[in-house]
Amino acid sequence: MSLVLIVDDSKDNARLIEASLSVSGYEVMTAHTAEAGFDLAVAHHPDLIVTDLRLYGSSIDGWELIHHLRQQPRISQVPIIVTSVEVMPDDRQRALDAGCDLYFPKPFRIGELRAEISRLIG
């Protein structure tokens, strides 16, 4: 069973993603701050990470989280999908340049997100 880590300060968004993935047979962990997400990623080595960029209540944002994750040898190659309300024209490219594999602007279609997760990790 593949393990997916969700990092999102919105409990509603995290629950939506978690419910959809759980029904599809994924094991899911959720963190609501960047720090908790980083700690879970380092401790559990998920197969994929879904993170928001704006993480209120964290001392670092999603951009910094991605940077820190990409510096960890054991999880540096884990696919990262960004979900964000940041929809400026260059945000998608900036996320890809930062090391993300996919960028989903909010609101997104949960079925499309689930399909891309399946494509990336089976």
Share of the chain above pLDDT 70, in %: 99
- Phi, psi of 18, deg, nearest 5: -60, -45
**Band of pLDDT at residue 70, cut at 50, 70 and 90:** very high
The listed CATH number (3.90.190.20, 3.40.50.2300, 3.90.1150.10, 3.40.470.10) that belongs to domain 3-121: 3.40.50.2300
Residue 116: is its pLDDT beyond 90? Answer: yes
Question: What's the pTM?
Answer: 0.94
What is the arithmetic mean of pLDDT over 85-108?
85
- Phi, psi of 52, deg, nearest 5: -80, 160
The 48-52 sheet, strands edge to edge? 27-31, 3-7, 48-52, 80-84, 102-105
What is the arithmetic mean of pLDDT over 88-95?
82
Q: What's the pLDDT at 92?
A: 82
Q: What is the pLDDT of residues 54-65, one digit of tens each?
A: 898 899 989 999
What is the arithmetic mean of pLDDT over 82-93?
82
Q: What is the pLDDT of residues 43-52, one digit of tens each?
A: 999 999 999 9
What is the arithmetic mean of pLDDT over 69-74?
96
Sequence ranges of the domains in the chain: 3-121
